[in-house]
Structure 1
């Protein structure tokens, strides 16, 4: 299945253009978004990037847009005034950019599923992981594993809280798509048993191994993530071995998870040195 890129609304730089941001708080009603877009089109505004979200609790929605004010466009102040005149709009704010640059200044904090969140780009995050390995050597792999385990456990706990344990367990493979929804990689469950004693999971385009070259598996954060997530979901302690790794030139990162016995399983294929 083809996937479309997801561009997160942070900012734009369009030299030589009058750029602005407008945020609209509106009723969560059919036709509200269409009217807001229509107001902007009628005002000579070119929408370059936008995002919207709704709250069932308050029955409101927030629409956030980075725009170009064309030559015949109204000012951002006039645009806000027109928005506030709409029967769907509760409030609106706008701000002009600086010399073709516009950053999201009107929305904060950033949240995901009601939880405050932050963004890290891939290059910065990879550099952070490499610095951990560089400073702590082979001990860095364990640190990354434990960080991933904590994150996986936290995320799965939140998921169970939102949708219920029965739904989360029944739709385990679907729930794993949170990995791709949040930009970490593209997961696929290729095998597992109903009691969660065993599972094989592949991750393509993993952030952890993209651009890496190694003679050994190096998805330590993702191994921990899977172990922590399944612990929160099932209450079972599983051991995880990475049997394929993109960093070794293979087509994906593949993880085999098995129920932990009295002795932990070997984390690397026979003949490979654990880092």
Structure 2
């Protein structure tokens, strides 16, 4: 088996420095959905504007001139051509500003069409109230606390025993097959290109940091390493067994569809639950 180099299929002569996956650095991404700020004057501001360059910079400049701090925010489509929505969590403590004065200041800008402001539902607790549904690349997503997912696994295992873990594996496999079919239909992806896209999605959706480290298409054998896999993180260094079931099934489903395998399997050889630095999976299959 050989080390995987991510090559552009259409250009086999690309310089090695251009086709290697570059080392990345990561940071915790905090979505502007819930903010806890004791003894602070905070608010959520939802701004509908014309979809033109410089709106974010203009709004930031105006708020800064009032000594208002932007704690977090995002900009997205308003669902209407030519419009965008800027959602901000702001801290206006000690500025002498009020909710109404902030709204009027923003509405005075020609590019701003509407401004809605949401205040804490309870003292110190600000919860986003304007955005729904939650979309990623046009697909609806739901957020679930890792602790909740962990409790679901434990509860299912306590009721069904090992059959519950098998069920989680089959659920993951079905989800992986379905995602791979979607990537085929929408982007016409196949083989390792489809796999690379599927693995790249793992990080922004919070599942972990995945890398296809070994590829041997002739022998139909692949190896995937995942750091901080959501399914195993709650059990870090506390188990003698590998703990991935859902994601292990998901990987098998993705590879099965990507390479049109008649038979496939996915084994977790190393796991952070049993003391390894990362979870390592070996996927094998037989071509149909």
Answer whether TM exceeds 0.5 for this pair: yes
Alignment partner, residue 13 of structure 2: none
User: Distance in 1 between the 2:94 and 2:134 partners?
Assistant: 33
User: Distance in 2 between the 1:106 and 1:115 partners?
Assistant: 18
CA RMSD of aligned residues (A): 2.5
Residue 167 of structure 1: how far off its partner (Å):
7.6
User: Distance in 2 between the 1:84 and 1:242 partners?
Assistant: 56
Runs of 4+ in 1 over 6 A off after TM superposition: none
Task: Give the number of equivalent residue pairs.
Answer: 261
- Name stretches of at least 5 consecutive residues in structure 2 with no aligned partner: 1-23
User: Distance in 1 between the 2:58 and 2:97 partners?
Assistant: 17
Residue 151 of structure 1: how far off its partner (Å):
2.4
Task: Spell out the pairing of 1:88-167 with structure 2 (5 A cutoff).
Answer: 88-97=111-120, 98-162=122-186, 164-166=187-189
Pair 1:131–1:91, CA change in 2 (3 A) = same
SS class of match (1:36): helix
User: Distance in 2 between the 1:25 and 1:168 partners?
Assistant: 42
User: Distance in 2 between the 1:132 and 1:2 partners?
Assistant: 36
Alignment partner, residue 106 of structure 2: 83
Matched, 1:253 2:253: no
TM-score (structure 1 length as normaliser): 0.85
Pair 1:55–1:231, CA change in 2 (3 A) = farther
SS class of match (1:2): coil
Q: 1:223 aligns with which of 248, 255, 269?
A: 248
Question: Which range moved further: 175-184 or 84-93?
Answer: 84-93
- Name stretches of at least 5 consecutive residues in structure 1 with no aligned partner: 263-275
